[in-house]
Chains A and B, each alone.
Chain A
């Protein structure tokens, strides 16, 4: 869809450079002349927001790494040192810790946008799978980052997550010793987690490049879920139309992010993590960060250890198969009344599981979590395949332009 570049170098120097490395033309065709569907809403701004947040996390993270010490005896103290002694260290740390939450907040909107408008369907399956890989890498990065301050909750989190691997029959315990570099989470674990926490964001950057590449091959989906048929009628140029819209949405997003960072920087942090890690004590009520809570609730809902761990990983892995689990040819939920209904039930299941994951275990929470977990898997494995067969969809517009023009002139 992006086609060949329409970029024409103006100066002799630009012509000389372009004939040797056509990178300006590549950027021009991808982010300036690139045709974007004219009906995109603000949910489509989250790709740009996520790109910005990835960059912001890398910048604040590299700065923090200049002052942080990845050792069991010094990590907690070095975070205090960042907070008290380093110029603007408190700001870098709060931007980074809250940045992780806002990164996940944005990615969840981005993912649910894709679910609602069927962005995972042909020809965007690879684009979607690359997105699931980015999400997995984000979770791994966030988890290891959470271990670095070496507070009580850091230690408990590292212990519980690495112990998931002990559920593997026969080799599980050896695998966990290998991951820890010892017989429990300790100094070697912290050190390697720091190395990987520094590495993984750059792997995310790599997959993001593939993600954007795949996006620009297939073209963007849009709220009506019909493909671009006539570039003249159906699209507008990326710059200035999408650019200014993305920047506006990003500004609003950053205002909220800044509000959290400056006014309630510890709102999302567990107070137990302000106490240094002690391998001989586990806090009375351990919880992961909010963005992992639904998966934690699924793990806790299942009484068998191995099955619980399998369900946890399956809940994430199944997302990659969505393009084939959903059998309906119609993309957008706008034209799928039944799908829209089940989509919202699915969303309620996810939020409900998240809430239950934050609560202490009781018989009632376990029961409700089981019902919601059945809802989660039922949507992906039963509802989606069946809907394609039984649902009566509404007529989809002939083109993006038709959809927009009908809306613009409802009286006709």
Chain B
């Protein structure tokens, strides 16, 4: 804090003799430099800490997160039937697949798929396919037993899914998502 190189008082230290002053200011920081840097640092950190809560409050809240899992009894789903259940505010399809539907899904060569995944990777029990019922294009709910593969067809922009819920044609980029789930018993499944 040796301020002797500067004119006294709050005068314009940087305006006087030009060339030397910027180096002088670095070598001999005065009170104003200190206040400038300290205020700037507090301001930047303060702004960041205030902005984060303002942004983060938009995220899913505790009551939404608390509804993150459901239990479903699958025994009543007849072969060929699709049950739609509500999970985290949106639909989940539980499809009791027929032998023909399973065979069609299993026998599809991976080279025909846009988002390659075998049928085995997508199910825990081959007869029960559980997928999130939200089109991976723009979030519409696809219609079951529709389209050339008899899987699903999205009414919004025409994406076609097969009996494994895999994307086959249309603008959707990905297969219908498989949610996290576990069989609690032979017929009871916990989703989420």
Contact = CB atoms under 8 A, between A and B. Distances in A.
Interface string A136-158: 00000000000000000000100
Contacts of A178: 55, 58-59
B90 A305 contact: no
B61 interface: yes
A285 B60 CA distance: 30
Contacts, number: 89
B134 A179 contact: no
A280 B141 contact: yes
B64 interface: yes
A207 B141 CA distance: 38
Interface stretch (A4-12, A180-188, A241-249, A331-339): A180-188
Contacts of B155: 282-286
A308 B141 CA distance: 20
B138 A159 contact: yes
Interface in B107-158: 133-134, 137-141, 143, 154-158
A361 B157 contact: yes
Contacts of A279: 86, 89-91, 141
Given A160-B156, A181-B64, A305 B137 contact: yes
Contact of B140 (A159, A180, A183, A300): A159
A304 B156 contact: no
B64 A182 contact: yes
B59 to A, nearest CB: 5
**Best-buried of A160, A184, A306 by chain B (most CB within 10 Å):** A184
Contacts of B138: 159-160, 163-164, 166, 305
Nearest to B86: A280
A192 B58 contact: yes
Contacts of B28: none
Q: B59, B61, B154, B172 — which one has the most chain A CB atoms within 10 A of its CB?
A: B59
A395 interface: no
B171 A302 contact: yes
B49 to A, nearest CB: 19
B84 interface: yes
A265 to B, nearest CB: 27
Contact of B60 (A162, A164, A183): A183
Contacts of B141: 279-282
Contacts of A302: 171
Interface string B63-100: 01000000000000000000010101111000000000
Pairs A-B, 10 closest by C-beta atoms: A184-B90, A163-B139, A183-B88, A184-B89, A163-B138, A282-B140, A282-B141, A160-B138, A159-B139, A186-B89
Interface of B: 55, 58-61, 64, 84, 86, 88-91, 133-134, 137-141, 143, 154-158, 170-173
22 contacts: A159-B139, A160-B139, A163-B139, A177-B59, A178-B55, A178-B59, A181-B58, A181-B59, A181-B61, A182-B60, A182-B64, A182-B88, A183-B88, A184-B139, A185-B89, A186-B89, A188-B64, A279-B90, A281-B141, A282-B155, A285-B155, A286-B140
Given A163-B139, A184-B88, 15 more contacts: A156-B156, A163-B137, A164-B138, A166-B138, A180-B60, A181-B60, A183-B89, A184-B89, A184-B90, A185-B89, A192-B58, A280-B133, A282-B140, A286-B140, A300-B171
